[in-house]
Structure 1
Amino acid sequence: MINRLFISTVMLASLSLAACTQTPNAANNLAFSNNGKFVKIVDEDEVYHDKLAYDIQAAGISPKGQVNVWAEKLVNELVLQNDALRPDQPLLISTPVMTSNFNTTNELALQLQQGLLAAFHAHEFNLVDLNVATNLRATEQGEFMLSRNWELLRADLPVSHVLVSTMTLTPEGIVFNGRVVNVTNNRVLSAVQSFVAASSLSGYLQPSEMIESRNGLLYRHENKGDSRYTVLGDKL
């Protein structure tokens, strides 16, 4: 009887230890490991809880996906690193571009841009939306106010600070670098760098095929996923 009780106690302790040391899935909600400590979205920080953790049922706040959470984390660090930009100074959020070509972007970057704007506004910064046209366009498809046609946009926006950012796709995920720049003297007021595993953005990234076409050239790989990830919807 004593031996059975001893064995049961040991097994229970072993199961408890395994549960405590089990590593959570780092792909969930952009959680990550920081110096051996697993960090979740809802950080154990009172200020974070007061400002960024919402009860959707109680407050009516809309649910957020991984891209939105990523945008919030990027902006949190940009606000932390900021050494000059005041909340009352107008700030424009530009579209993230690819590091290899500053004239190209993708669907993920366009969505992240929207999330960055919302996250900065949550910190009560003075945001300027470049895409608001000078006139409302009423068409058979609907009424449109946003545009990317420079001829329909204002050219005299009072903006001296812009968030510029770049992306790099790798075989493991995506690298992001962003900085708030004073366009009058190109001074960097704040900067952030981030890496997100592809599994955290499964709805946006897809692994490379064994044979892929890139810039008009064919590339052959030994295994699927050996090359860098691509954004879903991108033309290769």
Structure 2
Amino acid sequence: MSRLIIFPIALLAAACASEPPVSTNELAYVEKPTETSFWFSDEPEVQPAPLQYDITKAGLAPKSHVNILAEKVVNELVLQNDSLRSDQPLLVTTPVNTSDYSKTDALGLQLQQGFVAAFHSHEFNLVDLNVANALRSTEQGEFILSRDWKLLPSDLPVSHVVVSTMDTTPMGLVLNARIVNVTNNRVVSAVQTFVNMNSLPGYLSPSNQVIFQDGLLFRHEASGQGNAVVLGAKL
């Protein structure tokens, strides 16, 4: 006769609690992903050569965590899209702070460039607002990009724009992005995501013990208790 052995729940919980927590990085590349295939064939499967990033050889440009974040956000925007066609003109605006739509930072500026590259990889019809009407040749170089509205075209045939907002918490970054039809302000796609501070090295860092906010100095009991700081941002 077989015997049924029942372990006390308390012992099982204690065993699980003794295991150390597993640290994960949701933006890291998986070098050897698990492949699942339902195709059966007598011929041996040919494995593709692994993709290597080597700056000394020809190949794809190396990517960092901020580039991967931009790709993941755009991938979901494309997935959630319910009406925008890839042949319709699309303009990507700069991500702004949630509390102030007229301010951004170094991370927002870089994410905007990443969104443009990611949407182009999906073969969307992108429009670059910052291309000036004329090329400027100076002693420092030749320039055509500008943020001066007087040098930019004013009649771009754009009906859809990508808008996004950012906010920091003590743990990381909250990012919301959406595609809006500017003819009727209808949202055709929307994404929200949270990124741990450790996943964006070089862009986010823990707050200091003493911070300057709204013209006042605040002192926390320890560093890292305030919202994460975007490196390069103006305080």
TM exceeds 0.5?
Answer: yes
Distance 2:88 2:61 in 1: 28
After superposition, residues 1-236 of structure 1 pair within 5 angstroms as 25-27=23-25, 30-31=27-28, 40=30, 54-56=51-53, 60-236=59-235
Return the TM-score normalized by structure 2. Answer: 0.80
Distance 1:72 1:232 in 2: 21
Relative to structure 1, is the Cα distance of residues 25 and 159 closer, same or farther in structure 2, using a 3 angstrom cutoff?
Answer: same
Letter in 1 for 2:189: S
In the TM superposition, structure 1's runs of 4+ consecutive aligned residues that sit over 2 Å from their partners are 21-27, 39-46, 53-59
Relative to structure 1, is the Cα distance of residues 91 and 77 closer, same or farther in structure 2, using a 3 angstrom cutoff?
Answer: same
Letter in 2 for 1:26: T
What count of residue pairs does the alignment treat as equivalent? 202
Letter in 2 for 1:117: V
**Residues 182-224 of structure 1: CA deviation (Å, up to 9, x unaligned):** 0000011011111100111120112111111122110110010
How large is the RMSD of aligned CA atoms in angstroms? 2.2
Q: Unaligned 5+ residue runs, structure 1?
A: 1-20, 32-38, 47-52
Letter in 1 for 2:79: L
Relative to structure 1, is the Cα distance of residues 166 and 45 closer, same or farther in structure 2, using a 3 angstrom cutoff?
Answer: farther
Letter in 2 for 1:30: L
Q: Is the 8 A contact 1:92 1:161 kept in 2?
A: yes
Return the TM-score normalized by structure 1. Answer: 0.79
Which residue in the other structure is 1:9 paired with?
A: none
Q: Unaligned 5+ residue runs, structure 2?
A: 1-18, 37-49
- Which one has a larger percent helix, Structure 1 or Structure 2? 1
User: Shift of residue 141 of structure 1?
Assistant: 1.1
Give SS of 1:121's match. Answer: helix
Give SS of 1:105's match. Answer: coil
Counting aligned pairs with the same residue, the percent is: 59
Distance 1:43 1:165 in 2: 31
**Residues 69-121 of structure 1: CA deviation (Å, up to 9, x unaligned):** 00110011001101000000000000000000001000000001000000000
**Residues 48-73 of structure 1: CA deviation (Å, up to 9, x unaligned):** xxxxx955468711111101100110
Give SS of 1:113's match. Answer: helix
Comparing 176-185 and 212-221, the one that deviates more: 212-221
User: Shift of residue 23 of structure 1?
Assistant: 6.7
Distance 2:176 2:146 in 1: 26
Distance 2:228 2:136 in 1: 38
